[in-house]
């Protein structure tokens, strides 16, 4: 549970409306359509218009609201991730009505023992309203895969940077997009490229609770690959023909960070229960 840090200033929406809009658009894009035929029927357009209009911000209830799940990982599926003693389940939750950047209880980690969960809730509590549609993940089943990465260019010195750039170029590859840091959602690895801001400085990358060192835990990306990072695309997705133009294979979670950026979660090395530090990159 979390009390929103500030009152909403735009229209509110509900998780049910977000799901309804996504399902409706998925069906609409999947339908065969004539050259002059609208994507949506009149009735569907009315539903979308109603959802887009949202609800007045005054309806946001006072007091704490439930967080929503972002990711759930079992130790058995990700052997490279070290779990705190006695735990084998990591749950990451956040508040889709607040700024998720920085270090606050808007983003929380729960390290648990899966055997303690004897009865899973069939209808977990949900916030009555949310403000940020892009921060509501579409449920996905994870199939973790280990990949080899290399340090991002901002962590190389000038001499190393020019050597690896020349090496990659000679092989018709690009060090930044093809070889160094994998795009998409991932655990651990090297920090994502800094795209719109300067790399984090040492005094920024520390635990917000104890000021101790942190390490990269999870990267949340707006897409699994894009035009520049297609070399990371899974072979089975490359083979798909007639791929949908909505809810595409490269955007399975439908989460969008900023305008296509990534959100990197760093967790405290000395105490995993401390709040994670998050940086948009």
Residues forming the site for Zn ion (CB under 5 A): 207, 209-210, 212, 268, 271, 274
Q: Which is nearer to Zn ion, 207 or 255 (CB)?
A: 207
Q: Which is nearer to Zn ion, 21 or 274 (CB)?
A: 274
Residues 72 and 253: beta-carbon distance below 8 Å: no
Query: What is residue 260's three-state secondary structure?
Result: coil
Q: Which is nearer to Zn ion, 60 or 103 (CB)?
A: 103
Q: Which is nearer to Zn ion, 68 or 268 (CB)?
A: 268
* Least distance in angstroms from the C-beta of 213 to Zn ion: 9
43 CB-near residues (< 8 Å, 6+ apart): none
What 8-state DSSP symbol labels residue 76? G
35 CB-near residues (< 8 Å, 6+ apart): none
| Integer angstrom CA distances of residue 192 from 176, 180, 216, 251 | 10, 9, 9, 17
* Least distance in angstroms from the C-beta of 274 to Zn ion: 4
* Least distance in angstroms from the C-beta of 82 to Zn ion: 16
Do the strands 277-280 and 262-268 form a parallel or antiparallel pair, or are they unpaired? antiparallel
Residues 106 and 95: beta-carbon distance below 8 Å: yes
Q: Which is nearer to Zn ion, 77 or 215 (CB)?
A: 215
* Least distance in angstroms from the C-beta of 67 to Zn ion: 20
Residues 61 and 119: beta-carbon distance below 8 Å: no
* Least distance in angstroms from the C-beta of 111 to Zn ion: 14
């Amino acid at each position: 549970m979390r009390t929103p840090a500030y009152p909403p200033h735009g229209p509110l929406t509900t998780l049910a409306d977000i799901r309804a809009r996504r399902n409706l658009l998925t069906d609409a894009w999947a339908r065969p359509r004539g050259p002059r035929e609208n994507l949506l029927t009149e009735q569907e357009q009315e539903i979308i218009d109603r959802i887009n209009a949202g609800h007045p911000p005054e309806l946001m209830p006072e007091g704490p609201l439930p967080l929503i799940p972002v990711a759930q990982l079992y130790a058995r599926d990700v052997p490279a991730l070290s779990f705190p003693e006695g735990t084998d389940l990591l749950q990451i939750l956040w508040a889709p009505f607040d700024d998720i950047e920085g270090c606050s209880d808007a983003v929380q980690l729960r390290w648990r023992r899966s055997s303690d969960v004897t009865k899973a809730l069939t209808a977990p509590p949900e916030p009555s309203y949310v403000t940020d549609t892009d921060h509501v993940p579409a449920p996905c089943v994870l199939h973790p895969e280990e990949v080899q990465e290399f340090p991002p260019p901002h962590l190389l010195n000038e001499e190393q940077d020019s050597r690896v750039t020349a090496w990659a170029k000679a092989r018709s590859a690009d060090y930044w997009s093809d070889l160094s840091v994998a795009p998409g959602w991932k655990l651990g690895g090297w920090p994502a490229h800094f795209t719109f801001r300067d790399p984090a400085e040492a005094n920024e990358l520390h635990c917000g609770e104890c000021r101790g060192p942190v390490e990269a835990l999870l990267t949340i990306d707006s897409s699994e690959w894009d035009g520049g990072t297609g070399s990371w695309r899974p072979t089975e997705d490359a083979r798909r023909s007639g791929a949908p133009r909505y809810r595409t294979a490269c955007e399975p979670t439908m989460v969008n960070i900023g305008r296509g950026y990534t959100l990197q979660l760093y967790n405290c090395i000395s105490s995993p229960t401390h709040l994670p530090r998050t940086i948009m990159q």
